Amino acid sequence: MQRIEQHACFGGSQEVWQHRSEVLGCDMRLAVYLPPQAAQGGKLPVLYWLSGLTCTEQNFITKAGAQQYAAEHGVILVAPDTSPRGDDVANAEGYDLGKGAGFYVNATQAPWAAHYRMYDYIVDELPALVEANFPASDARGICGHSMGGHGALVIGLRNPSRYRSISAFSPIVAPSQVPWGEKAFTAYLGEDRAAWQEYDATALVAHGYARTPLLVDQGGADEFLEGQLRPQLLQAAAEASNHPLTLRLQPGYDHSYYFIASFIGEHVAWHAKALKA
10 Å CB burial of residue 113 (0-12, 13-18, 19+) is middle
227-229-234-235 Cα dihedral, nearest 10 degrees: -80
Catalytic residue among 222, 243, 267, 271: 222
**Which CATH number characterizes residue 184's domain?**
3.40.50.1820
Where are the strands (E) in 22-87, listed by range? 26-34, 44-50, 76-80
Q: Residue 175: its pLDDT value, please?
A: 98
Q: In the annotation, is 271 catalytic?
A: no
* pLDDT means over runs of 10, the chain (277 residues): 97 98 98 97 96 98 98 98 97 96 98 98 98 98 98 98 97 98 98 96 93 97 98 98 97 98 98 95
Q: In the annotation, is 146 catalytic?
A: yes
The count of domains in the chain is 1
Q: Residue 99: its pLDDT value, please?
A: 97
Catalytic residue among 146, 167, 170, 176: 146
Q: Residue 210: its pLDDT value, please?
A: 84
- Chain centroid to Cα 115, Å, comes to 18
Q: Residue 60: its pLDDT value, please?
A: 98
Distance, CA of 11 to CA of 127 (rounded, Å): 24
Q: Residue 79: its pLDDT value, please?
A: 98
Range of the domain at 205: 2-276
Distance, CA of 54 to CA of 147 (rounded, Å): 10
Catalytic residue among 73, 255, 267, 271: 255
Q: Residue 184: its pLDDT value, please?
A: 98
